[in-house]
Structure 1
Amino acid sequence: MKSFDQCKPTFSHLAIITMINKGFVKHVVSQNIDGLFLRANIDRENLSELHGNYFIDECIECHSRFIRNRPSPTMGCKFTGDKCKKCDGPVHDTILDWEQELPDDEFDRAQIESKKCDLAICLGTSLQIEPANLLPLEVLEKSEIQHENTDDNQLNKLVIINLQRTKFDRHADLVIHHYVDKVMELICQQLMIQVAPFESALDPTKSCHDLIPWNRNDFRPTIKSRNELL
């Protein structure tokens, strides 16, 4: 077993970020708490982390988020003992416990991006945990609305790539039961995308500075409340 600070982004993390930079991928919704997208230096605008990140703290007062240069000593949104660099308020980790609700900002952004999506690809997930597992189904709801007046080839699509079967396989347009890294490697070959290796020098969690600001630019949700999302 490796500690969180010893883990490195996989080929898939790096490939997805390369695809974002080339315009193939618009947004990533992650349930992982390992911080590997962050460590691969993804742009904050392109990521929604629903269950937290061991390298991200949040201020209880101004809700600013900060990148740690070491894994959080706590979990369950507990106070870490550090102070906010903006308002001097106490900060807590962002790792959710089972009974805690998803962070509004992260879930709202994930919902907005899912509603805009025309191709949802689920990578390495059993699609068991609600409500995160329902987000990819947004693309199917749009297809049902479009179906009467649109050619099938132009409808929005759902793709699931996972070693095991999921309960949503029957709804997907394509299901691939294989290792995600291998599938991503083949996709990059088809798209003629070169994926650069991980550069630890660009890893923000290895900075000599602690609690670096990690805030998404302001956005205006197109929905009014969590109740309207479910």
Structure 2
Amino acid sequence: MSVLTGAGISTDSGIPDYRGPQGVWTRNPAAEANATIDRYLADPEVRRASWQARLVHPAWDARPNAAHGALVDLERAGLLRALITQNIDELHQRAGSAPEKVIELHGTLHRAECLSCDLITPMSEVLARVAAGEADPPCPRCGGLQKSNTISFGQSLKPEVLGAALDAARSCDLFVAVGTSLTVHPAAGLCGEALDAGARLVIVNAAPTPYDPYADQVIHEPIGEALPALVKELIDAAR
């Protein structure tokens, strides 16, 4: 089976989601507008605010929760083909998921990239410069603009990453979507790819999604409780 995770799986770890009732963009719609690459490139104030937000991002203190751990159990039982995630917090890897199983659709907050020369730098090094007073730290190699190594609105997913996710969706017998609104494409479309290939679909999410009518099972319960229970059922059924 293949699993897709979104922001909802990390809320129990203290990282707010984006579009939920208390989501970052629900409470502050301007934050979503500022998450576009065009705004980031054009407006120094947006970049400065983005660096300050990265400096205090809850991901730095977050710990994996029971839902992350359940997916590790699924992998160790030999049932997980791929773990596709929209998240940028690396909590799956920290929980024990094998890095080669994790497909990070939207990149990672733990690295910075130069938008001119593509230099990749540990985010901790760049944030140390921000903490020392650099409001918009340039690339140490070419002086270009830097941002987190994540996909902003207006940026395309890396072809090889999207290709791996499509392969995982099209080649599984069961596709499980966890903690995602299934409204952001192309990630949301992976459910359709799996269904078209004949896979069953299970959705675990607090709120309804556009794919609920097509799912074999929909679970609208707290993810930290529902996902471990679902994984136990799947492992028991495979024995």
Match of 1:175 in 2: 218
CA distance in 2, matches of 1:23, 1:92: 37
8 A contact 2:71–2:231 mirrored in 1: no
What is the CA-CA distance between 1:111 and the residue it aligns to?
Answer: 0.9
Report the CA distance shift for 1:99/1:61 in structure 2 as closer, same or farther (over 3 A): closer
8 A contact 1:5–1:70 mirrored in 2: no
8 A contact 1:82–1:91 mirrored in 2: no
Higher helix share: 2
8 A contact 1:17–1:42 mirrored in 2: yes
Report the CA distance shift for 1:28/1:66 in structure 2 as closer, same or farther (over 3 A): farther
Moved over 4 A (4+): 57-74
8 A contact 2:201–2:216 mirrored in 1: yes
8 A contact 1:162–1:176 mirrored in 2: yes
CA distance in 2, matches of 1:167, 1:33: 23
8 A contact 2:114–2:139 mirrored in 1: no
Match of 2:207 in 1: 164
Report the CA distance shift for 1:140/1:121 in structure 2 as closer, same or farther (over 3 A): same
Asked whether 1:12 is paired with 2:12, we answer no
8 A contact 2:205–2:221 mirrored in 1: yes
What is the CA-CA distance between 1:132 and the residue it aligns to?
Answer: 0.7
Q: How does 1:24-173 map to 2 (within 5 A)?
A: 24-57=79-112, 81=139, 93-143=148-198, 156-173=199-216
Corresponding residue to 2:229 among 186, 204, 224: 186
**Equivalent position SS for 2:150:** coil
Q: Which runs of 5+ in 2 are unaligned?
A: 1-13, 15-56, 131-135
- Deviates most, 91-100 or 41-50: 91-100
TM (norm. structure 2) is 0.61
Report the CA distance shift for 1:80/1:18 in structure 2 as closer, same or farther (over 3 A): farther
CA RMSD of aligned residues (A): 3.2
Match of 1:202 in 2: none
Report the CA distance shift for 1:126/1:102 in structure 2 as closer, same or farther (over 3 A): same
CA distance in 1, matches of 2:62, 2:71: 18
8 A contact 2:112–2:126 mirrored in 1: no
8 A contact 1:33–1:54 mirrored in 2: yes
Q: Alignment identity in percent?
A: 26
- Deviates most, 8-17 or 179-188: 179-188
CA distance in 2, matches of 1:72, 1:21: 35
CA distance in 2, matches of 1:133, 1:69: 31
Q: Which runs of 5+ in 1 are unaligned?
A: 84-89, 144-155, 193-230
Report the CA distance shift for 1:80/1:138 in structure 2 as closer, same or farther (over 3 A): farther
**Equivalent position SS for 2:64:** coil
**Equivalent position SS for 1:120:** strand
Deviations 1:21-53 (A, max 9, x none): 221111111111222113224222101111121
TM (norm. structure 1) is 0.63
CA distance in 2, matches of 1:92, 1:104: 20
